[in-house]
Amino acid sequence: MNRVAFADRVVLVTGGGRGLGAAYCRELASRGAAVVVHDNGSDTEGRGHDPAPARNVAAAIVDGGGRAVACVADASTESGGREAVDLALSEYGRLDAVIANAGIIHDDSFEEWPTDRFEALLRHHLLAAFHVVRPAFAVMKDAGYGRVVFVSSAAGVFGQPRLAGYAAAKTGMLGLMNAVALEGAEFGITANAILPMAATRMALALMADAADTADGREFLDTLRVDQVAPVVAYLASESCDRTQLVLSAFRGRVAALQIGVTRGWISENGMVSAEDVATHLDEITDTDDLMVPSSIFDEMAYLA
């Protein structure tokens, strides 16, 4: 088995100062990567600024004999994303992979969700990914090589109560992944995603007082960051030549998400009524002949 290695590779990790992001940084550095630890140190709702988390992770990697530099700009802004990419280039002369991991959390019943909080979730997850990946994509395109890993969530793909903003932002990451994968294919750029679960400060924020109970602690103990970080390392590596791959990782299990479309029902005359949908719903939802398209064109060709 060939070792997944990052010799001479440079990886930028957004939200790299704590939790899973810090675990990704450590895992990548242990495999030889030079790491840009990008984190402005805000709290779980996106407020405040603390340079210590990013600098501490970078310093620990350097103290251990690795290569790392901290960027404490705000990834949710266009200038902050560009600053991190520019730092990778000025410090190491290249940028080979990006882990779009930055984000915040807020939970509320749907009818009570404040607009500013919903917008903040989109900004700190989806826009933060866009603001870093867009300038990184140009660098990778010129180099003819790149790896992009978007950190999505099962809370969005499958749903979780009280997380409207988080779910919308995290599912949007998959749409961004699809576009980057398709546009990057001819330039040696892959784009994949992960649905992780781990005991991080965001998980603790959601669990609130339940995290301090015996059952809560036992549950969190089963969700370790070291069960996720190696999966991200693989997706960010040269060893991974797949694109548009979405992996779920937690509790030692790694599984693939498949988003498919059924064969469905086809109208003989091209006309469809609401009554037709009701009549043929069982045929429409029959998954026996499920197809997994890699683009919108694949689904259109399915009818040919």
Largest CA distance in the chain: 70
Return the structure tokens found at 205. Answer: 């924020």
Q: Which domains does the chain have, with CATH numbers?
A: 10-256 (3.40.50.720), 260-304 (no CATH)
Answer for the pair 264, 281: CB distance below 8 angstroms, yes or no: no
pTM exceeding 0.85: yes
How does pLDDT run across 74-110, given as a tens digit for each residue? 999 999 999 999 999 999 999 999 999 999 999 999 9
> Could you tell me which residues come within 8 angstroms of residue 97 by beta carbon, excluding any fewer than 6 positions away?
9, 10, 11, 12, 33, 146, 147, 148, 149, 236, 237
Catalytic residues: 166
Backbone angles phi, psi at 260, to 5 degrees: -125, 175
Query: Has residue 207 got a pLDDT over 70?
Result: no
Backbone angles phi, psi at 125, to 5 degrees: -105, -70
Mean pLDDT of the chain: 94
**pLDDT value for 299:** 84
Neighbouring-strand partners of residue 240:
none
Burial 266-298 (b: 16+ CB within 10 A, else e): eeeeeeeeeeeeeebeeeeeeeeeeeebeeeee
